[in-house]
Amino acid sequence: MHFSNRLKNLPDQFFAALTHKVANAVAEGRDIINLGQGNPDQATPPHIVKALQQAAEDPKTHKYSPFRGTTELKEAAAGFYKRHYDVDIDPNTEVAILFGAKIGLVELPLALMNDGDLMLLPDPGYPDYLSGVSLAGVNYETMPLLEKNSFLPDYDALTDKQKTQAKLLYLNYPNNPTGATASIKLFEDTVKIARDSDIGIVHDFAYGAIGFDDEKPVSFLQADGAKEVGIELYTLSKTYNMAGWRVGFAVGNAEMIEAINLIQDHLFVSLFPAVQEAAVTALTEDQSCVEDLVTLYEQRRHVLITECKRIGWKVKAPKGSFFAWLPVPEGYTSEGFADLLLEKVDVAVAAGNGFGEHGEGYIRVGLLVDEERLREAVKRIETLHIFT
């Protein structure tokens, strides 16, 4: 048997390659401080775990879920958006339940685009956006996210051709990998260009709960008219440390939601009902666990940035997400510097070029180890005497 052309044309899996490098180093018995991962290091809050345990003991959860998810979870998602963002969501027509946000991001081009259609993607951006491009057989062009623009897209730089031909536009704030956040003004501008050019908007809100300096990240759906032109994807992976649970949802434009639901009717029979019940608990009960988590990441951010500046590394603190986007020293490429750190001081980071052409010149560092390991990582880097 041979792989289909569709599989042969898939892009290389950036994170799989990074994980392989780190695993080889660990297998050699080396003490690797892994700052390259995006996997939350804290446990799922106990009350959510308990909800799963209790639900899993109930025989009714052992049957198929309704194809499009339980009414309770869709209502919980709608209620969550009303409480946190004052956005009204119809749980019957404006919510799609997802096996994590990645599924939605990859399947949307399949559901909404035809061969050869154009989509616009941020660069740097989450590498798996390209998986959807490849599987759907569509074309893409990038919107550079530059430091001089606070890592926000410059819509004035889009060509007439791009605005005329594009069918979908992806955004992601708080941003992976840069840690940048967006204002309501950006989203209002996004709604305008979507209306003027008939482009569907997909906002990847995976890090929606994680904003620093007392600034809560803004939802795209808070912009006037946002539901007319697009949707937002939310995952419980980061907000509640439920990465392995694979549960999220999309909310917003009813036609786009129906497209997701329709393609998933043919791919899945929704999530294990017990996981859906636990997700309801996460979204509707005490949110102090989220506040504590953001505080933890902010403390780690302070340690990392303070230590980097101490050794002479000129860095800026991220405004959101659990990543820091750090410039590589002069004379190094992103990949070359990342390889140096792994080979010489046993510190793993993600090379910025893995996130796109405009990621060159940076590395991504995760705030997903404790403060002492962050300090130790910077101390190891200091021994290279690169920044003195």
Q: Distance between CA 20 and CA 179 in Å, rounded? A: 25
Packing angle of the helix pair 288-310, 371-382 (nearest 10 deg): 20
Q: Which residue has the tokens 């993607």?
A: 121
Q: Which residue has the tokens 């300096």?
A: 213
Question: Does one domain contain both 168 and 140?
Answer: yes
Backbone angles phi, psi at 250, to 5 degrees: -115, 145
The whole-model pTM stands at: 0.96
What CATH number has the domain bearing residue 301? 3.90.1150.10
> How high is the pLDDT of residue 19?
86
**Residue 270: HSE in the Cβ half-sphere, 13 Å Cα cutoff:** 23
Question: Does one domain contain both 76 and 185?
Answer: yes
> How high is the pLDDT of residue 13?
76
Number of domains in the chain: 2
Residues with pLDDT less than 70, the chain: none
> How high is the pLDDT of residue 12?
81
Domain boundary among 256, 284, 312: 284
Burial class, 333, CB count within 10 angstroms (exposed 0-12 / middle 13-18 / buried 19+): middle
Instruction: Please enumerate in sequence order all residues whose Cβ is within 8 A of that of 8, keeping only pairs 6 or more positions apart, or say none.
Output: none
Q: Distance between CA 380 and CA 342 in Å, rounded? A: 11
Question: Does one domain contain both 171 and 79?
Answer: yes
Question: Does one domain contain both 114 and 231?
Answer: yes
> How high is the pLDDT of residue 15?
77
Nearest to 366 by CA among 35, 33, 19, 16: 35
Domain boundary among 250, 284, 318: 284
> How high is the pLDDT of residue 17?
79
Query: Does 343 fall in a domain?
Result: yes
Range(s) of the domain holding residue 100: 64-284
Question: Does one domain contain both 147 and 264?
Answer: yes
Question: Does one domain contain both 277 and 294?
Answer: no
List, in sequence order, every residue forming a beta bridge with 143; answer none if it has no partner: 122
What CATH number has the domain bearing residue 72? 3.40.640.10
Question: Does one domain contain both 240 and 348?
Answer: no
Domain boundary among 284, 301, 326: 284
Q: Distance between CA 34 and CA 16 in Å, rounded? A: 14
Q: Which two tokens stand for residue 140?
A: 């893409």
Question: Does one domain contain both 38 and 68?
Answer: no
Question: Does one domain contain both 280 and 292?
Answer: no
Q: Distance between CA 333 and CA 340 in Å, rounded? A: 10
